Amino acid sequence: MACKKRITGETRHGGDALCNGGAVETVYIREAKGDAGDGVGEVSTDAELCLSPMFSEGVEIDSQQKKARLKDSFKLLLLLGVITIALIYVVSASGLELSDYEAYKRYFNRDRSIHWAPVPQHSPNLTIIQYHVAFPRNYHFILDDTEVCRSNTPYLVLVVPVAPSNRKARDAIRQTWGNETLVQGELIQTVFLLGLPSKGNITEQQEHVRKENLQYHDLIQSDFVDSYINLTIKTMVIMDWLATRCPKASYAMKIDSDMFLNVENLVTMLKTPGVPKKEYLTGMLMWNRPVIRHPSSKWYVPEEMYPDPLYPTYTLGMGYVFSIDLTRRFVEVSKLIKPFNIEDAYIGMCMKRLGLQPTQPPNPNHFRAYLNKYDRCTFSKIITYILGSSEQLVAVETDRQTDLVQSDFQDDYCHLTIKTTMILRWLN
């Protein structure tokens, strides 16, 4: 019989010899004949072999080295776990985002209450679209006593187009992001732009608007009919007001009344090195969008108003930011462009006529349309996001502010790196 010796990591009282604290086993190998007559080595069933990967033959391993290796192994496993969780989060989060098409569709379908003002009897040859779309210079401000841009020069002006009757949305904005006036040392001011009521008791609604403005002095009203199909008018009236009232501001933003806005992140983006101070328009960019030719569609645009099959690149109308110098140029170039009722695409047409292109934001994920659920971590990083109601805006902002004042980190992915760092420091 031949024999060989192997050191195990444990002491057996019945071992043949001891070497540096390890038990030496004797393993007997006997020759056996196979069916073909070949010699094969067979381990005796009486022998017991201990093969631990943490030990090598003839090497002394003390308890401190064992502990160090265990700690290193634990660190590695912990880091692998964090990476795995992060990958799962990224994959699952990507599934929450809608495609551009779905986001676009949901954006335009979020308000189906379109109010159609009647076509005047003396204009029988005009279609309803031709009647309702016109240049901003055809309208006048009937309410404009705000101090915005008069007694000071804001860095950023937030203009919210909103229906006269939608007091709830205005109050929610005043309680949340519209209440932020000084961010990173920059003055931020918010105003609401209204048209005339399109239905109901117009006199009563106008009285409510007047009293509301006496309280807040943040309403601007023009004498066009406030309806969905007049959004292009409303947007160009905003540009006209900014060009004449706020020419010394740095930036402005047109943002819808059903939007969440993180003003802190917006100012951070605008102050990012390389962000232009002139000829700048950014937001959620739309490329190669087809023009809808179905007369029954909410977004129908006839060929005589816009003959091209695709719109130029534009920013989705839910919320876009622009340098203040563009406002005057938009108003001027609008005199040369046949207007149509898709307001954000119309701004894209103005940009194209000026020889300019909208700019992708430094982080395209800053401007979001829809996710399937609220996520505090995501909301801490974005700039805009469409919400379902004024109540939801207040709830989201309340939760966000609660998170900001808490000294402890929360038990979510957003703070996972902090937890991992603390554990690794403790191990060291």
For the chain, the maximum distance between any two Cα atoms, rounded to a whole number of angstroms, is: 119
Alpha-carbon span 361 to 121, nearest angstrom:
47
The CATH number fitting domain 100-405, selected from 3.40.50, 3.30.160, 3.40.47, 3.90.550: 3.90.550
How deeply is 50 buried, as exposed, middle or buried, from its count of CB atoms within 10 A (0-12, 13-18, 19+)?
middle
Q: By C-alpha distance, which of 400, 364, 371, 403 is closest to 385?
A: 371
Residues pairing with 322 in the sheet:
252, 281
Going residue by residue through the chain (428 aa), what tens digit of pLDDT does each one get? 444 444 444 444 444 444 444 444 444 444 444 444 444 444 444 444 444 444 444 445 566 777 777 777 777 887 887 787 766 655 544 443 444 434 444 444 444 333 333 333 333 343 444 444 445 667 899 999 889 999 899 999 999 999 999 999 999 999 999 999 999 999 999 999 999 998 889 999 999 999 999 999 999 999 999 988 889 999 999 999 999 999 999 999 999 999 999 999 999 999 999 999 999 999 999 999 999 999 988 889 999 888 999 999 999 999 999 999 999 999 999 999 988 889 999 999 999 999 999 999 999 899 988 766 777 887 888 999 998 889 989 988 888 777 665 534 444 555 555 555 555 555 55
Angle at 140 between CA 227 and CA 302, to 5 degrees: 40
Long-range contacts of 331-339 (CB under 8 A, 24+ apart): 331/136, 331/137, 331/236, 331/239, 331/240, 331/243, 334/135, 334/136, 334/236, 335/135, 335/137, 338/305, 338/306, 339/133, 339/134, 339/135, 339/232, 339/236, 339/305
Question: In the chain, where does the domain assigned CATH 3.90.550 lie?
Answer: 100-405
Residue whose tokens read 């207040």? 394
- Residue 406 is classified by DSSP as -
Half-sphere exposure of 270 (CA within 13 A, CB side): 28
339, amino acid identity: P
Alpha-carbon span 244 to 224, nearest angstrom:
18
Other CB atoms within a 10 A radius of the CB of residue 152 amount to 11
Q: Please state whether the predicted TM-score (pTM) of the whole model is above 0.75.
A: no
3-state secondary structure of 119: coil
Alpha-carbon span 66 to 82, nearest angstrom:
24
Angle at 264 between CA 101 and CA 89, to 5 degrees: 50
Other CB atoms within a 10 A radius of the CB of residue 252 amount to 25
3-state secondary structure of 149: coil
